[in-house]
A and B are shown apart, each in its own frame.
Chain A
Amino acid sequence: MNYNWHWKVLLETEPGGSGTYLHYLIVGLGWTLATALAAWVIALAIGALVGTLRTTPLKWVVRLGNLYVEIFRNVPLIVQMFLWFFVVPELLPKGLGDWIKQMPPPWSSYLPAVLCLGIFTSVRVAEQVKAGIMSLPRGQRMAGIAMGLTETQTYRTVILPQAFRIILPPLTSEFMNVIKNSSVALTIGLLELTGRARAMQEFSFRVFEAFTAATVIYLLTNLIVVVLMRALEKKVRVPGLIAVAGAPQAGH
């Protein structure tokens, strides 16, 4: 393959004048992380709630939770992005819709992207939370009730603390998925890491330098997340439980 590498391009100034291309990409990583972290907060909050509700004995609550999960699991992420970006502002009351549309960039892309990713990921978190609760022995719940705790107290003090510690490893990989999936936000104009690598390729015509740099930055980010999460997993592991490898799951 004859391709002339030109790595110094990373130190050249990008056309926007904000600094070097490398700096331009690092700012992109900042946006990637800002999007992923904000979405992760939403995903954990909604996911924990929906996942827990789906294990309660209330039939209609379970059905409502299932409906939520099915809706957001069966529509592609990019289509959901378009719905949040193009469709939702039109369906809101006119004033609010216009306010969203007239937000200065990049906030007009950032807000829909965070909401979209947060809700998309909450479904996957909900599945993990439900699986974690179901994996606990039934005796735990019974013991809680037998000790005179209410249903809510049993969840709060017995079931959820254990479930969350058990599902930490799969949640780690979900967090890494949020980081990767945030790249889809480039389709609604958010210049995160992948979007900036693409832009750099268009400005500088250095295709493979741009994509290699972005790939390396993603790999380093993953490495840091894995190291941090492994430390956390070690700290909160439930003593006496054998760490069981989860069943293989489909993913993307």
Chain B
Amino acid sequence: MSGFDFDVIQRSWGYLFREGMTFTLTLTALAMTGGIVFGTLLAMMRLSSIKPVAMLAGGYVNLMRSIPLVLVIFWFFFLVPYIGAWVIGAKEPIKVGAFWSAAITFTMFEAAYYCEIMRAGIQSIPRGQVWSGYALGLDYWQTMARIVLPQAFRNMLPVLLTQTIILFQDTSLVYVISATDFLGAAAKVANRDYRLVEMYSFVAVVYFVVSYGLSTLVRRLQERIAIVK
């Protein structure tokens, strides 16, 4: 066990956390927000009585869930410049940085997973709730926004948060497009100083502490919600 130099962590602390961890946490927060919003819309589409709408959403969700995240990251990394050019009407593909490419990728990918959670949440609400909404004169959107979704969201909160912890861990895969997230920053230092053992062990410990801490909180929340019910 001789020849290890754990000082490298102290020397690169600022870079690791101020650059790397900030990237990771911002990406997680953005993808969580976007993913839950888009995922909820997808869930409503999947449960729609209009067949083509339900099939479109179902096809999207099943496609996303059938291919590896790494492949999805590659897809969007190359596709986003073309979509951007198409949106603003440019002739050439536009330049998109690694961060925004990753933010779009994770929003679109996680939406498929959040969708399945929200779909189960919506289906767990008794039909009578919807009927009473309509009986009170509310329309579809009002019934959804005021009666069904708040309850569905509350019932599914622990699963949504667990999915977010997985999202937090999965953002480390932006390594494949050379983004400087927490792992990316650590990898750069590791290769520069040839301190792979020290850096990767440290990265594992940090991810473990954050994920384990968060999942303990989720478990507590789950117990509290279970009592209220």
Contacts and interface: CB of A to CB of B under 8 A. Distances in A.
B113 interface: yes
Contacts of B69: 180, 183, 252
A113 interface: no
A211 interface: yes
Given A219-B67, A252-B69, A252-B113, A86 B200 contact: yes
A51 B201 CA distance: 27
Interface of A, helix, strand, loop or mixed by DSSP:
helix
B74 A198 contact: yes
A214 interface: yes
Interface string B106-142: 0000000100110011000000000000000000000
Given A76-B172, A218-B68, A248-B156, A83 B116 contact: no
B66 A3 contact: no
A186 B159 contact: no
A78 B183 CA distance: 9
Interface in B146-163: 156, 159, 162-163
Contacts of B207: 74-76, 79
Interface in A24-76: 70-71, 73-76
A78 B175 contact: yes
A215 B68 CA distance: 9
Contact of B67 (A2, A184, A215): A215
Interface in A188-227: 194, 197-198, 201, 207-208, 211, 214-215, 218-219, 222
B215 A74 contact: yes
Interface residues of A, number: 45
B78 A211 contact: yes
B116 A248 contact: yes
A187 B207 CA distance: 18
26 contacts: A71-B208, A74-B211, A74-B212, A76-B172, A76-B173, A77-B169, A79-B172, A79-B183, A82-B200, A83-B200, A182-B68, A183-B71, A194-B71, A197-B71, A207-B78, A211-B71, A215-B71, A218-B66, A219-B67, A222-B66, A248-B117, A250-B113, A250-B117, A251-B166, A252-B69, A252-B170
Q: Which 8 A-B pairs have the closest CB atoms?
A: A248-B120, A183-B68, A74-B211, A250-B163, A76-B169, A250-B162, A180-B68, A76-B172
Interface of B: 1, 63, 66-71, 74-75, 78-79, 82-83, 85-86, 91, 113, 116-117, 120-121, 156, 159, 162-163, 165-167, 169-170, 172-173, 175-176, 183, 187, 196-197, 200-201, 203-204, 207-208, 211-212, 215
Interface of A: 1-3, 70-71, 73-80, 82-83, 86-87, 90-91, 176, 180-184, 186-187, 194, 197-198, 201, 207-208, 211, 214-215, 218-219, 222, 247-252
